[in-house]
Each structure stands twice: as C-alpha cells, then as structure tokens.
Chains A and B, each alone.
Chain A
Amino acid sequence: MKTATEVQVSIRSDTDIVIARQQARSFAAQLGFSGTDLTIIATAVSEMARNIVIYAGNGEITIEAAQDGAQKGICVIARDRGPGISDVARAMEDGYSTVGSLGLGLPGTKRLVDEFHVVSKVGEGTTVTIKKWRR
C-alpha cells in the first residue's frame, strides 16, 4: 500500500478534534509507529486540535512524514489565524490558562513529543509544530 505523503484536517468544531486524532493515529501506524507511541501521537494531536477550537475557532492540522538523517518519524503542524499568544513562555507553564481550562494543553503536549515548536504573532495566529521520532 502506498502511504499518503500528507494528511490535512480542517478544524472547526469538537468533532473535528476526534477526526484529527484518528487520522494522526492511522498515518502514524502507516509510518511504522506502534502501541504506546500511537496513543501518544493521537493524544498530542487531540490537544493541538483542541487549542485551535478553543482559542482560534478554526484552523487546520497537517500530518506528514519527517526525516532527519537516519531518524524517521512524524511531523504534525497545527495552524490557525486566531488571536495569537502574547506570551508564549507563559503559555508553556503548567496550569496557566486564559480560558479556565486545566492549562495543560501546550506544556502537556510538549512532554509527549520529541520536538516542539510554537510560533505565534498577536493578531495573526499561531503555528504549533511537533515531531516524534520512531524508536
């Protein structure tokens, strides 16, 4: 079976969060991830999609294969054109939330993956990129 090189899911409502994490899980399985890693990837994508729904209303998730030398893995990009994060360092603190949630979304997601990167500009939107390498 040929592996799709990229999967895109547009995120507009809470049901899209479920679709995004299911897509991420099956894409990761095609890339050769297994067991615990599949759950971890699906959970990370769930949090990323949730951030889009909560803070921006809509956006998109792109899932693709990642490679760095001999390392192979998965890369997930969550993009929105929402209000942006004014203080990224603060948003990465456990328990910090502007909407009364648990505040575990971003810092929690970071703990689940190997690479984590946030680019955000107030008034323009936020892009969160994660990578997880196959062991």
Chain B
Amino acid sequence: MEVPILKQGDYLIASIQAALSDEDLLKLRDELADRVGRFRSRGVIVDVTVVDVMDSFASRTLRTTAHMLRLRGAETVIVGIQPEVAFAMVQLGLTLEGVTTMLDLEEGLTFLDQQKKRRAKRAK
C-alpha cells in the first residue's frame, strides 16, 4: 500500500491511508527524503490518523524519517496519533523523542507556518 504524498507550496503532506507493512514504511521514508530535495520542501506532515497500531518498528521508522528530513532541511510533524494508539505507545516505551507531534493536520500546518516565519525573521 503506497502512501500518497501531496505537495502544497513549501510543504509535503503524506497521509497514510491503510495499514502499512514494514516495507511500505521504509518506502515512505525514502520517498520523502527524495521529494524534499526535488521540491526543496521546508516542511513535511505525516498524517497517521487512520493508523491503528504503532509498534516499535513503525515508531522507529517515523523517528528516523523525521531526523533524516531535518538533516535535509525540512521540519517534520507527525499528526493524528489516536488516543488509544498513544496509550499503547507509552506502555511499549515508544515516545518519538525529538520528533514534533501535533493533534491534527490543521495544527501541523500552523506549526510549520510559524516555523517559516521564525526562519524568515532570523534571515533578515
């Protein structure tokens, strides 16, 4: 199951549509790293609203992806972690340390816009 990645201005939005295998997750990571370069994106949102299980592999891969993309110059925000998924993650000891998470797509976009403004101010 491939994850569709939409380009919206400076941002990329990947919304996971169905249960992903390990291989699908790795493909998403590589695809995002590639497109961030191709489109010179400054921000990436990964929407996991429909994800019903976030196990150790999925967590680790999302974390790696966020860190990789930061090294490529784009800020990543994970949005839409469901309450019961969050509970299971905490029990497992998965905290997505060093990764920005927001409630939903709207909050994620607001966050990226604020980051952009901050960056622009610094550049002046």
Tell me the A residues contacting B by CB distance below 8 Å.
Answer: 14-15, 17-18, 21-22, 25, 35-36, 38-40, 42-43, 46-47, 50, 94, 101-102, 104-105, 107-109, 111-112
Contacts and interface: CB of A to CB of B under 8 A. Distances in A.
Interface of B: 19-23, 52-57, 59-60, 82-85, 87-88, 91-94
A22 B55 CA distance: 13
A112 B88 CA distance: 7
12 contacts: A15-B21, A17-B22, A21-B53, A36-B87, A39-B84, A39-B87, A40-B87, A40-B88, A42-B52, A47-B56, A101-B57, A104-B94
A39 B91 contact: no
B89 to A, nearest CB: 8
B55 A35 contact: no
A42 B93 contact: no
A46 B55 CA distance: 7
Contact of B53 (A36, A42, A104, A105): A42
A15 B57 CA distance: 13
Contacts of A35: 84
A108 B91 contact: yes
